[in-house]
Structure 1
Amino acid sequence: MVVPEGFVLPPWYLLVPLLVVLGGVLALLWTLEPPVTDRTVIAFAPWMMFGSTLHVLHRLEAYPDSIEVLFASPSVYLLTATVAGLVWIVGIFLYAGGLQSSIERVVGIVGTGFFAVFAMIAVVDGWEAGTFEPFFPVISVVIAGIVTALAWLALGLWFTDVAATTSLTGVLVVFGHALDGVSTAIGFDLLGAHEEVPVSRLILEAGEALPTAEYIGGGWLFVLVKVALAVVILGLFKEYVEEAPRQARTILALIAAVGLGPGVHNVLLFMVG
């Protein structure tokens, strides 16, 4: 099995319109050619978290049966990308018309609002069900922050040019994958969580087979691999960011989302489920 468990596509009458709208949004953005800077990537961070929140609500069975498949993986991320892209387009026009001081302001504020509202719905659901447990989720975020700081310090000391070039985008990439790694490790070692991604499960099982597993668990290897890969990717992207910053930062934003999205999903699911 090469795809995550729970991977399901919606029926064609939902999938086709979704893909058509997403394709139209991407085509318009391609035509408009908005700038993609560090501020742009950071502005989209709440949207990465928002998509994960929608998926958590799907796992809590919060949606009507007729549309719940849209919030399963991977369609929930296509849906989130479509909405985020539309907001980006609106931000471009508001900025061009002098109604907003920056495009990123619109994208960031709307994304943060969406994430906050839907995350609160999930939290309230967990609170009412008596399953609200914030301890390990908070610990996951704190440890991920510490791991990110240490990794970025090491990168800045030994590969200063990489850290300087990738800047805040690079920080988000490292933090996203650190959060995914740490939350997955805590879930695997302490909460009895089942890893759905086959490759990730293999790494966790490899860590569990090491002699150190008896003392510190097996999840540490997964954290190490995730953070190391993030740092290596930043090193490989250094020249690309210098030569084509718009394209390079767009790809790095997607790489950050692959880490931050699952990481936030884990944190929120552990908190409410």
Structure 2
Amino acid sequence: MVLPEGFVVPPWYLLVPVIVILGSIIALLWALEPPVTDRTVIAFAPWMMFGATLHVLYKLAAFPPSIEPLFTAPMVYAVTATVAGAVWIVAVFLHVGGLQRTIPRFVGIAGTAFFTVFATGALLLGLETGTIAPFWPVIGVVAAGIVTAVVWLVVSLWVTDIAATTGATGVLVVFGHALDGVTTAIGYDVLAAGEDVPLSLLILEAGEALPTAEYIGAGWLFVLVKVVLAVVILGLFREYVEDRPQQARTVLALVAAVGLGPAVHNTLLFAVG
């Protein structure tokens, strides 16, 4: 099995319109060529979190059955990209028209608003069912922050060129994958949560087979693999960022999303039980 459990292809009458609209938005963005800087990548972080929140709400059965398939995996990524891309286009025109000082500012504020509203909705559903449990999600975020700080300090001291070149984008990549690793470890070792991704499960099972599993659990190996992989990717992208910064940061934003999206999904899902 290669694909994760829960991989759903929605009906054609939902799939086709989303693909057509998303394709049109990508084509328009390609034509507009908005700048992609560190600030742009950070501005899209709330949108990565928003997509994860939509999937949590799907798991909480918060959407009408008629549109539920839009928020399954991987369809929810396309829906999120469509909304975020549309907002990005609006931000470009507002900036060109002199109504916004910067494009990332509008994108970031809009993404934060979307995430806040829908995350609050998920938390309210948890309150209604009496399943709110914030302790481990808070521990996960704090632990991931500490791991990120330590790793970035080491990177800054030992491979300074990587830290200097990738900047805030690099920090987001490391944090996203650190949070994914930590929350997955907490879910596996503490909350007895299942793991849907076959490769992730393989690493967790490898950690469980080690003698250290009896004392510190199996998840530490997954955290280590995620963080090391993030740093290696940043190292491989260093020259690419120097030569083609716009394209490289766009790809690194996607790398960050692959970590931060599932991480926020885990965190919010644990919080609402």
| TM > 0.5 | yes
User: Which amino acid is 1:211 matched to?
Assistant: P
Separation in 2, partners of 1:21, 1:36: 22
Partner of 2:139: 139
1:32 partnered with 2:32 = yes
Aligned-pair CA distance for 1:164:
0.3
User: Which amino acid is 2:89 matched to?
Assistant: I
1:115 partnered with 2:118 = no
User: Which amino acid is 1:151 matched to?
Assistant: V
Aligned-pair CA distance for 1:12:
0.8
TM-score by length of 2: 1.00
Partner of 1:54: 54
Aligned-pair CA distance for 1:267:
0.2
User: Which amino acid is 2:271 matched to?
Assistant: M
Partner of 1:269: 269
1:235 partnered with 2:264 = no
Separation in 1, partners of 2:61, 2:205: 30
Aligned-pair CA distance for 1:53:
0.1
Partner of 2:254: 254
Aligned-pair CA distance for 1:128:
1.1
Separation in 2, partners of 1:244, 1:43: 20
Gaps of 5+ in 2: none
Partner of 1:150: 150
User: Which amino acid is 1:174 matched to?
Assistant: V
User: Which amino acid is 1:162 matched to?
Assistant: I
Separation in 1, partners of 2:234, 2:164: 11
1:28-67 per-position Cα deviation (integer Å, ceiling 9, x unaligned)? 0000000000000000000000000000000001111111
Partner of 2:67: 67
SS in 2 for 1:55: helix
Aligned pair count?
273
Query: What pairs up with 1:192-207 in 2 under 5 angstroms?
Result: 192-207=192-207
Partner of 1:213: 213
**Which 4+ runs in 1 deviate beyond 6 A?**
none
Separation in 2, partners of 1:183, 1:121: 21
1:66-88 per-position Cα deviation (integer Å, ceiling 9, x unaligned)? 11011000001100000000000
User: Which amino acid is 2:140 matched to?
Assistant: S
Identity across the alignment (%): 73
Separation in 2, partners of 1:105, 1:169: 16
RMSD of Structure 2 on Structure 1 (CA): 0.4
SS in 1 for 2:30: helix
Separation in 1, partners of 2:218, 2:98: 54
1:163 partnered with 2:151 = no
Separation in 1, partners of 2:25, 2:9: 21
User: Which amino acid is 1:122 matched to?
Assistant: A
Separation in 1, partners of 2:104, 2:219: 36
TM-score by length of 1: 1.00
1:211-254 per-position Cα deviation (integer Å, ceiling 9, x unaligned)? 00000000000000000000000000000000000000000000
Separation in 2, partners of 1:68, 1:38: 34
User: Which amino acid is 1:177 matched to?
Assistant: H
Partner of 2:80: 80
Partner of 2:90: 90
Aligned-pair CA distance for 1:9:
0.9
Query: What pairs up with 1:169-188 in 2 under 5 angstroms?
Result: 169-188=169-188
Gaps of 5+ in 1: none
SS in 2 for 1:73: coil
Separation in 2, partners of 1:189, 1:101: 47
User: Which amino acid is 1:247 matched to?
Assistant: Q
Partner of 1:5: 5
User: Which amino acid is 2:244 matched to?
Assistant: A
